[in-house]
Amino acid sequence: MNDPRVRQLAEVLVCYSARVKKGDVVLINASGTECIPLVKELYSLCLSRGAKYVEYSFQIPEIDRHFYNSATKAQASHFPQHKLDFMKEVSVYIGISAGENSMVMAQANQANMIAWSKTTRPIVDRRVKNTRWVITRYPTHGAAQEAKMSLEEYEDYLFSACCIDWQAESRKQEKLKRLMDRTESVRIKASDTDLSFSIKGLDGIKCDGRFNIPDGEVFTAPVRNSVEGHITYNCPTVYQGKEFNGIRLEFREGKVVKATATGMDEALNRILDTDEGARYIGEFAIGVNPNIREPMRNILFDEKIFGSIHFTPGQCYDECDNGNRSAVHWDMVKLLRGDGEIWFDDCLIQKDGLFVQTDLLDLNPKG
């Protein structure tokens, strides 16, 4: 792709998000090969900014699928120590997804997928906790088709969501973060949704382009046992290669006590039974990217939709630790545009997907 926006995206990732500097060891990890033009730009920029070593690697989803379907129990539990050893040397990690088919894992062996996720968790933890990391997506025909767009339309959508003034967005998000910090109780009301929980003592965290591109959310976590009520998600979600629609969760004392999904009840509950923490919530977030407005079956975008929330079963983040631990972290998205309210401490802050509190009006998209 000979598109100047590829260079712009690379500059966002290297110069703003990962802040590559002299002496860094950089790992560029790509899933799929369509993103070679972006990898070239990233590689060049990292070297020009003084990185002492830049490694790039490509994962092929179809080969990974073969592993999940063919691996023995011993193979799925063998720890790749060499990867952890190298990750201990890495100071910057840039991950790119450029898959042609998000359903490639739909029929893969789920038990092996879960086992491998648990086996390699120390490598992921090392990356998340000890590197300046950022992940992004690259436009492909497959991704465009899933988003129900032409490739050209998808490219426009992706680059408009990624290549924005993140410093300005960060300043806008700061107001919502401060409001979260001083809020004790939250209530979400919408069609077939009435959810209440406490966020007392848990910080609001800005997502302003440092770790995900595109970015655009402010998150916290509920007090683990405080969630009561029910929520019906109206955004499709893909998890472990399977698409789920119409997920409805009922909570009592923080725990999912009933979970259904259109035609997928068994698969949904199997995931929620991965471990104890999978039935508790690890994250509550409000999407605020002004240029992401419609779901496209890609969670890196969909969780940032302006006028949405995500309410996430599973592992919490270290930055906002409510004590929940799980091998699962499943961002499920609820769209509130045209139907929904967010209340903080009995004060309405957002209605039908637009902020109504004076201090937050700058976050609303222009036009």
User: Helical H runs in 194-345?
Assistant: 265-272, 299-302
Residue 15 in tokens = 């110069």
In the prediction, which pLDDT does 222 show? 98
CA distance 233 to 150: 26
The answer on pLDDT for 228 being more than 90 is: yes
Is 4-162 assigned to CATH 3.40.1830.10?
A: yes
Q: Which residue in 260, 235, 265, 249 sits closest to 195, CA to CA?
A: 249
In the prediction, which pLDDT does 106 show? 84
CA distance 333 to 37: 31
DSSP letters, 84-96, are HHHHTT-SEEEEE
Counting DSSP H helices and E strands in the chain, the numbers are 12, 20
Residue 296 in tokens = 């496209």
User: Helical H runs in the chain?
Assistant: 4-11, 36-48, 61-70, 73-76, 81-87, 110-119, 121-130, 141-146, 151-162, 166-181, 265-272, 299-302
User: Which tens digits make up the pLDDT trace of 161-183?
Assistant: 999 999 999 999 999 999 999 99
User: Which tens digits make up the pLDDT trace of 94-134?
Assistant: 999 998 887 888 889 989 998 999 999 999 999 999 999 99
In the prediction, which pLDDT does 279 show? 98
| Pair 286, 261: CB distance under 8 Å | no
Average pLDDT over residues 78-92: 97
CA distance 327 to 270: 13
**pLDDT bucket at 153, cuts 50 / 70 / 90:** very high
**pLDDT bucket at 225, cuts 50 / 70 / 90:** very high
Domain ranges of the chain: 4-162, 167-363
Average pLDDT over residues 274-295: 96
Report the percentage of the chain scoring pLDDT > 70: 99
CA distance 112 to 110: 5
Cis ω for the linkage preceding 214 (within 30 of 0): yes
How are beta strands 185-190 and 212-213 bridged, if at all? Answer: unpaired
**Identity of the residue numbered 322:** N
In the prediction, which pLDDT does 202 show? 97
C-beta neighbour count of 23 within 10 angstroms: 10
Q: At what angle do helices 151-162 and 4-11 cross, to 10 degrees?
A: 30
Report the percentage of the chain scoring pLDDT > 90: 89
